[in-house]
Amino acid sequence: MRTEQDMMDLILGVAKADERVRAVLMNGSRANTNAPKDIYQDFDVAYMVTDIEPFTKDHSWIDVFGKRLMLQMPETMRYPDNPDGHFGYLMLFEDGNRIDLSLVPLNTET
């Protein structure tokens, strides 16, 4: 299993390598220093992006996070559309790590 530091390095490295990712936020139990650590903790992460469409048109970009056992994309099941513009990937990997990654579009209009 990849360590917590391995996963953090990967999550931040992917963001740093893509200029469309302007910020990375972590929430959930891993962001709470008072939350007890356990083997079921996932990485709840949000990438703040300048343009969400390229990320959601071709989902192969998430392969960089590792070999998946499961993938859910809840926004693909919303009808008729996704009013808040966010897009989520809920990923479980072969090594037991989990990432709940939200893409959040930034309003670039001035």
Domain annotation covers residue 82: yes
State pLDDT tens for residues 68-88. Answer: 999 999 988 875 676 778 999
Domain count, the chain: 1
pLDDT band at 109 (very low <50, low <70, confident <90, very high): low
pLDDT in tens, 10-36: 999 999 999 999 999 999 999 998 999
Note whether residue 96 is domain-resident.
yes
Q: Which of 45, 51, 2 minimizes the C-alpha distance to 27?
A: 45
Q: What is the pLDDT of residue 79?
A: 59
Domain with 24 in it: 4-105
In a domain, 43, yes or no: yes
**What's 33's domain CATH number?**
3.30.460.10
pLDDT of residue 84: 78
* 46 found inside a domain: yes
Could you tell me the pTM of the whole model? Answer: 0.90
